[in-house]
Amino acid sequence: MHRVILLAQSGLQGGKCYRYQHLQLATHNFGEECRIGKGGFGEVFKAIIDDGNIVAVKRLNVSCGRAKIDFENEVRLGSNVQHRNLVRLLGSSTDGPELLLVLEYMPQGSLDKFLWGEKRGTLNWKKRCDIILGVARGLAHLHNEFHVKIVHRDIKSNNILLDDDFQPKIADFGLARLQPDDITHVSTRLAGTLGYLAPEYVNKGHLSERVDTFSFGIMTLEVISGRKCTDENFSGPDTSHLHEHAWQLYERGMHIELMDKALCIEEYHQEKVKKTIEIALLCTQSPPSLRPTMSEVVLMLSSGLSDGPGELINPTSIDSRRVIHMGGANGP
């Protein structure tokens, strides 16, 4: 069995060190009025530090046995990866009773709020296209453009954050792993959120960058439809989830109907919508060798060609009603 290379073994260095007391004061003692996110490993707070800079402070739940490992992973990884579509880690604090991360503040919050939360219906088609392409570029950087290959393992809509210009940035690297270049997959303990996870990862624990590709495909279907991947009964009691519903529409040549009803799409944009759905479905093919790399996805999304990826094969579905959440707070 190939072992996973952890961030602590990679030689990556951490970012700026902050005083715990300083961050405690900046968040009003981690007050409810400053809290902007909450997840399995902790909470995220808005803070003003360093002469007026607005940041997000993630407070990790140290009662969890893996919190220390995930904290060290996130500090080393986030401090060294720089890309316009990845949330920037500014530093950390280890001198207090809790582990803290200081992150780039993302004023618009997470993508899921715009798809089915309080801001639903406010994203037009152009913004959705830009978000899909931006996430693809961020993943391509993690997989191919950094000096080691990084598999995120938990790509989903609430781990995609938006800035003032709706530029998407991938957050929450606490579940990330570094993968050697000379192997095709590693076997590892399951982490992430079912519904977004690839069959080979759920069934056999096989982890490769194509696991992120699968999750990206599911997330893209959510962005297009405005529906959660775990939503049920789209077209009747026999249609269980978004992924299956998208495949049924595609096989009937009706996948344009997947589009969010809140969108007003001009007729000349419909081919673009259909092509994007087909690329999303291509990303969910099984076995994983049938899925494109994220660099190839970026090329397909940005090429402007009207042709889709060709005939697709309906992949093995996963019962996404079984949801395992293992991650940090849902972002700044």
**Active site residues per annotation:** 154
> For residue 51, with 0-12 CB atoms within 10 Å meaning exposed, 13-18 middle and 19 or more buried, which class applies?
exposed
Q: Are 110 and 160 in contact (CB under 8 A)?
A: yes
- From the CA atom positions of the chain, what is the Rg in Å? 20
- The candidate with the shortest Cα–Cα distance to 188, out of 202, 198, 169, is 202
User: CB-based contacts of 171: which residues, under 8 Å, 6+ apart?
Assistant: 87, 103, 106, 110, 159, 160, 161, 331, 332
The tokens 């090429």 sit on which residue? 303
DSSP code string of 232-289 = --SSSTT--SHHHHHHHHHHTT-GGGGS-TT----GGGHHHHHHHHHHHHHTT-SSGG
Query: Could you check whether the bond before residue 292 is cis, i.e. omega within 30 degrees of 0?
Result: no
User: CB-based contacts of 150: which residues, under 8 Å, 6+ apart?
Assistant: 77, 81, 142, 143, 173, 176, 177, 178, 179
Alpha helices, DSSP H, located in 178-231: 199-204, 209-225
The tokens 């030689």 sit on which residue? 11
Q: HSE on the CB side for 20, CA within 13 Å?
A: 9
- The candidate with the shortest Cα–Cα distance to 111, out of 243, 220, 211, 263, is 220
58 is in an annotated binding site: yes
Q: Are 229 and 221 in contact (CB under 8 A)?
A: yes
Give the Cα separation of 181 and 218 in Å (integer): 26
Please report, in range form, the residues annotated as the binding site for ATP: 58
